[in-house]
Structure 1
Amino acid sequence: MVAPAVASGPVADTPPARRRFVSGLLLRVVLAAAGGALVYLSFPPRTAWWLAPVGFAVLGVLLHGRRLRAGFGLGLVWGLGFTVPLLRWTGEFVGLVAWLPLALLVAVLIAVGTAVVALVSRLPGAPLWMALVWVADEALRSVFPFGGFPWGRIAFGQPEGWYLPLASVGGAPLVGFAVALTGFGLAHLGRSRRVAVPAVLVPVVAGLAVTPLVGTAPTAGTVVVAAVQGNVPRAGLDFNAQRRAVLDNHVARTLQLAEDVRQGRVPRPDLVIWPENASDIDPFRNADAAAQIQRAVEAVDAPVAVGAVLVDEGDNLPRNSVVLFEPGEGATDTYTKRQLQPFGETMPYRSFFRLFSEDVERAGNFQPGTDPEGFAMSRAKVAIDTCYEVAFDGVVRDSVRAGSNLIAIPTNNATFGRTEMTYQQLAMSRVRAVEHGRAVVVSATSGVSAIVLPDGSVARRTGMFTADALVAEVPLRGEATLATRLGAWPEWVMTALGLSAAAFSLAGTRRRSRPTPGAGVGEEETDGGPAGAA
């Protein structure tokens, strides 16, 4: 008599168990995407900054106790829910070929971090270690690949709210840590309130406690600043095809500003900031362009920082620069952008990427500058951080440490139309204002231009694709914040602690996975079967 066949696979391989596994997996994927979307919704132009901890809470619940591969997979979905809508502006005029690969790349780097977050989620005090690993992952994304892409760091979605004052103590990394710690603490409430409650409350209390450190007093006097937004003939990749029209727009709006001063409608500015690319005609090579700029400078009777494209006589290659023009003197100083935008101002692996799109030929061959020194303009020492540079901690910090008491962000956002990009960039400027205790003047070709006070509040702002000029009196502050003095140390320390926790957890996992001497054949540690792997 033949014995009936006995199923040898695990119980989870039976059809009902498999269906439960698939439905559970689908639910986790949907929740992961929703969690990432919540973090996206916390970013400007919305003011729902409090959604970011909720998005991290969802991530924390999903990752707790998971394996590395599950942490990677769920983190990838969470990352896509965040980066795909956040970075839609990158494809405004070039389509999916730029947008989706970039969003996927950033999401993959997030997933690398969430895999490690899952690894440390079993440690005592898990929310702390999970948040520290998140800081380490953001540090990685700030330097890799192609010089890094810090866009989407959690701090840049917090230009207001409870956590912003922490920027004055530990910069953007500390703000991101606080948001992540709160979220992971919320996720832990159902497991250990003794651990979860401090994780939730300490970052909030700390943010409120350091609010008095956010100084706004004019320790070095005050200055009247003006940001000129001349507008462009049209949006898009060829916005500056009419280079002379862009220059003429900024000359005309500055002449109007001078007339407004004469009529007493606005106070006389002590200094004026024009945007990046306000003159893509090299004023050192084109006497007529230089004459038109100087005409505006003389009319407003104040030094003007002019965003210009210069061509070096030695190598005949372009520089994205800012030129200081002064009344009665002409051009007296220059600053050259140090952190260039890959796939825009430069094109890494041009021949390879040309296989996917001919748009790579639109990318420039700009040469970077090296000097962080800004301009002396009237009573102010102005740090210049052009457009993309505002996203990089070290670039802004170096320009502030060069002795500045005011920050200028000349930028050109016309390439991205009416997308959220300009609002996301303005949020970075607001965080930098608090981080370094400086007023910030944002001057954009097509908007949004703004004047930001040292506490991150916006004193003046323009609309988009309109010609305008903002004038306001702002405090000059020579004192260095704790964040400015500490520099990158808070990020380095938090990254080291996070990686140490990961190494400790990995070593413990390997010890537990070793066979016990004398154990029966086939006895091995599992992590919840197939469900544990997802």
Structure 2
Amino acid sequence: MAALPFPLCPSVSRRVLAGRRWFAGDHYAVSVLVARILLAVAGGLLLTAAFEPIAVAYLVPVGVAAFALATRDLPFWRAGLVGLVFGVAFYFTHIDWMRESIGPDAWVALSSIEALFYGLVGLAVPLVRRLPAWPVWLAAVWTAADGLRSGWPFSGMPWGRLAFAVVDTPVAPALAYIGMTGMSFLLAVVGFSLAAGVETWLPRAGAPVRRTRQLAFGGAVAIVALLVIPAVAPYETDMTGSAVVAAVQGNLPGPANDILYDHRGVTRNHVEATIGLADSGVRPDFVLWPENSTAVDPFRDGEVNDGIREAVTAIGVPVVVGGLVDDGQDHVLNQGIVWDPVAGPGDRYTKQHPVAYGEYIPFRRYWDPNFGALRAIGRDMKSGTRTEPLRVAGIEVADAICFDVAYDDVMREQVRAGAELLTVQTSNASFIFTTQIDQQFAITRLRAIESGRWLVVAATNGITGVIAPDGTVVASADPRTTAVLVEQVGLSSELTPATRLGVWPARLFTGLSLLGLVLGGIAYRRQRDDAGSARATDDVSEPEATPAPNEAPVG
């Protein structure tokens, strides 16, 4: 430090020096924060690239590791800020399809809410980082946050769970053993372990560096090896029978992304495609129509009702119709209805997870918006509660409608109740020009692997397909075309280990995360108290300045 041009008394000198140290330290902290924010943005974008349409799944642990490195050694609120930035970079790009299909206002609102959960994980970092084996504790917090945002607020949004990126990778077969929640947790552990290993090359790495590096990288390699084992010896459920199923993709007249442009034309397309199948002489065990194959109540609308009866009579087997059924003046039900050629409409499944501000308005009694796309939601869609499979042509069928497939409880509970086959009825017309249809189809394939069941998807104009229990796409229809897929599928009543585990993995990781936060909070508070005591001791023991000769008292 250069000499001052004028003398100062010792107390003033100490204040000047302290001010310079404070300024230099604050400038350094700002620089570190900016660097961490840039790293968080990069990590969020890398995680986005792990999913469709880029689908480089190997980037999942890299993106997660970037999150850990970006929040490393930051104070409580700054770690939360960096975590939030990571969430913004990831979620705004991951569901960019909503901006193009539903609207920028809904995209910004939903992405902002979901990004907040990554900010909450960031707030947890300074706590759980103080625990031994912190990658495990932080992975539990990440997994618990994923579970929370998947069901809350309102119906939640499961998109972006780490497990949803693993289709077509060697670790995908492990889903039959550990399920989506277990897969997400282990992928997070791998990512955070990589971060722990990388940190050993960074300043203030701590000791012993070599042992930490070996444990971190060794742990990551061991987990990946365990995840890959099922690819060599996959869990295969025994098939107890087979059935022939037809999935109808009727296509949309007019604009391909507007189901309401000519909803009667949509129904007519599915009727004619089914009659065409009957004319070909093919007799499947049952026929699957998509969600919104009737966009009005098929019990009240005479033209639609007549069309369904015409198709069912022609094919001579049950048709699972996707219809919107009135439930009073203020509510509607999104249902899969088993329509028998003899008995008529019978068993029904009601969509369990309607989309907030897409299919219903939360708190409508207090706030009833009448602008933009929200104006079209004149009635609220009620949630279904059915956990029993549908009985279709003597087959126990687990049904899901559109976004239902992304929620763990829908198909799992029906399979546990005896479902032998999975079906998904979906209307992705609003998203047909976006990557949403690819992301949802990937999730659908993973559900087949997790449950060890064949799965049949019927979409209004894409993606319709038949999926084997190992996730292989046996048949699929080109989007925006009229097509009928007829395939023989296997039936099974055996439960995979993942299905047997049920909700317990989610409960386990939620409990671990809460325990980690408590233990980390205690360690965090103790460290702060110790630091405060050390500073107080330093202040008390500071020696008094010795007076200069010219300041000595005169005797």
In structure 1, the residue corresponding to 2:381 is in which secondary structure? coil
Give how far 1:63 is off.
2.3
> What corresponds to 1:137 in structure 2?
145
> What corresponds to 1:338 in structure 2?
352
Counterpart Cα distance in 2 of 1:323 and 1:336: 9
Counterpart Cα distance in 2 of 1:201 and 1:21: 34
In structure 1, the residue corresponding to 2:386 is in which secondary structure? coil
Tell me if the contact between 1:52 and 1:179 (Cα under 8 Å) persists in the aligned partners: yes
Tell me if the contact between 2:150 and 2:156 (Cα under 8 Å) persists in the aligned partners: yes
TM-score (norm 1): 0.90
Counterpart of 1:3 (choices 8, 15, 20) is 8
1:193 aligns with 2:201: no
Which of the pair has more CA radius of gyration? 2
Counterpart of 1:173 (choices 178, 181, 206) is 181
TM-score (norm 2): 0.87
| CA pair 321-499 structure 1, distance change in 2 beyond 3 A | same
Q: Report matched runs for 1:292-441 at 5 Å.
A: 292-312=307-327, 317-350=331-364, 357-363=371-377, 364-441=379-456
Cα deviation, 1:348-383, whole Å, max 9, x if unaligned, reads: 134776669443222241222222223222352111
Counterpart Cα distance in 1 of 2:166 and 2:370: 36
Amino acid at match of 2:385: T
> What corresponds to 1:29 in structure 2?
37
Q: Report matched runs for 1:481-492 at 5 Å.
A: 481-492=496-507
1:160 aligns with 2:175: no
Tell me if the contact between 1:235 and 1:414 (Cα under 8 Å) persists in the aligned partners: no
Counterpart Cα distance in 2 of 1:272 and 1:291: 17
| CA pair 400-523 structure 1, distance change in 2 beyond 3 A | farther
Amino acid at match of 2:169: G
| CA pair 475-517 structure 1, distance change in 2 beyond 3 A | closer
| CA pair 519-72 structure 1, distance change in 2 beyond 3 A | closer
Give how far 1:151 is off.
1.7
Give how far 1:215 is off.
4.0
Counterpart of 2:247 (choices 200, 214, 227) is 227
In structure 1, the residue corresponding to 2:179 is in which secondary structure? helix
In structure 1, the residue corresponding to 2:62 is in which secondary structure? helix
> What corresponds to 2:117 in structure 1?
109
> What corresponds to 2:84 in structure 1?
76
In structure 2, the residue corresponding to 1:469 is in which secondary structure? strand
Amino acid at match of 2:157: F
Task: State the identity as a percent.
Answer: 34
In structure 1, the residue corresponding to 2:461 is in which secondary structure? coil
Give how far 1:237 is off.
7.4
Counterpart of 2:298 (choices 280, 283, 303) is 283
Tell me if the contact between 1:156 and 1:427 (Cα under 8 Å) persists in the aligned partners: yes
Cα deviation, 1:379-425, whole Å, max 9, x if unaligned, reads: 52111111121111112212222210111110111122311111111
In structure 1, the residue corresponding to 2:57 is in which secondary structure? coil
Counterpart Cα distance in 1 of 2:129 and 2:8: 47
In structure 2, the residue corresponding to 1:306 is in which secondary structure? strand
| CA pair 183-26 structure 1, distance change in 2 beyond 3 A | same
Tell me if the contact between 2:351 and 2:384 (Cα under 8 Å) persists in the aligned partners: yes
Counterpart Cα distance in 2 of 1:483 and 1:189: 31
Counterpart of 1:99 (choices 107, 111, 117) is 107
Counterpart Cα distance in 2 of 1:89 and 1:385: 22
Counterpart Cα distance in 2 of 1:438 and 1:405: 7
Tell me if the contact between 1:431 and 1:456 (Cα under 8 Å) persists in the aligned partners: yes
> What corresponds to 2:543 in structure 1?
none
Counterpart Cα distance in 2 of 1:149 and 1:231: 27
1:183 aligns with 2:191: yes
Tell me if the contact between 1:449 and 1:462 (Cα under 8 Å) persists in the aligned partners: yes
Counterpart Cα distance in 2 of 1:340 and 1:294: 28
Counterpart Cα distance in 2 of 1:224 and 1:11: 79
Give how far 1:498 is off.
2.2
Tell me if the contact between 1:136 and 1:499 (Cα under 8 Å) persists in the aligned partners: no
Give how far 1:301 is off.
3.0
Counterpart Cα distance in 1 of 2:219 and 2:484: 45
Q: Report matched runs for 1:9-48 at 5 Å.
A: 9=18, 11=20, 13-14=22-23, 20-48=28-56
Give how far 1:91 is off.
2.5
1:272 aligns with 2:287: yes
Counterpart Cα distance in 1 of 2:235 and 2:372: 49
| CA pair 25-353 structure 1, distance change in 2 beyond 3 A | farther
Counterpart Cα distance in 2 of 1:437 and 1:512: 49
Tell me if the contact between 2:347 and 2:391 (Cα under 8 Å) persists in the aligned partners: no
| CA pair 256-14 structure 1, distance change in 2 beyond 3 A | same
> What corresponds to 1:506 in structure 2?
521
1:447 aligns with 2:462: yes
Question: Which structure 2 residue ranges, 5 or more long, are not aligned?
Answer: 1-5, 201-211, 540-555
Amino acid at match of 2:8: A
Counterpart Cα distance in 2 of 1:518 and 1:87: 49
Q: Which moved more, 1:63-72 or 1:82-91?
A: 63-72
1:496 aligns with 2:511: yes
Q: Which moved more, 1:3-12 or 1:222-231?
A: 3-12
Counterpart Cα distance in 2 of 1:520 and 1:400: 61
Amino acid at match of 2:360: T
Cα deviation, 1:271-310, whole Å, max 9, x if unaligned, reads: 2111001012322113332221122223333321010011
Counterpart of 1:67 (choices 55, 75, 81) is 75
Counterpart Cα distance in 1 of 2:107 and 2:451: 32
Counterpart Cα distance in 2 of 1:472 and 1:53: 37
Amino acid at match of 1:89: W
Question: Which structure 1 residue ranges, 5 or more long, are not aligned?
Answer: 525-534
Give how far 1:238 is off.
4.6
Counterpart Cα distance in 1 of 2:76 and 2:171: 30
Counterpart Cα distance in 1 of 2:276 and 2:426: 21
